[in-house]
Amino acid sequence: MKKLREEMPMDVLVEKSISISEYLLGLECIKAAKTIMAYVDMPKEVKTDIIINTLLNMGKDVAVPVCVPASYELIASKILSLDELKSGHYGILEPKKEYLRPMAPDTFDVILVPGSAFDVYGNRIGHGKGYYDRFLSKVPQETLKIGLAFDYQILPRLPVEHYDIPVNCIITERGIIQAR
């Protein structure tokens, strides 16, 4: 999986990310949502800048994660522009200190979730630190959780731990996969 990710040319990654963005932004649940937690992509992940800018232009309240390494906690912080971000922990863009606007986990209509791999049941493998598992455990069950991934990241079945929180659906460049 890692090899496939590393070998994907940037132009292909961008093209596939645009397709994923179009599927996501066409969803009625996204159009109806008021508050959405997105994530800022790391290298070779689905690019989210188009998604975030479009959601902001639609008048949505958009938050992105801030990692707190001391506690492995994830804090959602509202942003008004991608210009408010700087490189933070793990080299991931996050809000500058003067732009921190924490939002409680129970305030989101939709949460966009990254992952290294997903299965058709909505289970995911993250990046190994458990930030999202801890954050999603505080989110109401009815909050819609959407995984964004490239098609090659979808596997038939992943191992599941008791603390894993599945997503409701996964969007790839080929379409929407409803979790079984």
Helix ranges (DSSP H) in 43-155: 49-57, 131-136
Q: pLDDT for 67-113, tens place per residue?
A: 999 999 999 999 999 999 999 988 999 999 999 999 999 999 999 99
CA-nearest of 153, 143, 145 to 120 is 153
pLDDT, residue 103, reads: 99
Which tokens hold the place of 123? 């289970």
Q: What percent of the chain has pLDDT over 70?
A: 100
Query: Mean pLDDT for the chain?
Result: 96
- Identify the domain containing residue 154 by its residue range: 2-178
pLDDT (tens digit per residue) in 109-130: 999 999 999 999 999 999 878 9
CATH number for position 114: 3.40.50.10420
The whole-number average pLDDT for the span 14-31 is 98
Give counts: helices (H), strands (E), the chain.
Answer: 5, 13
Number of domains in the chain: 1
Contact between 38 and 55 under an 8 Å Cβ cutoff? The reply is yes
φ/ψ of residue 36, rounded to 5: -135, 130
Which one, of 72, 113, 69, lies nearest residue 88 by Cα?
Answer: 69
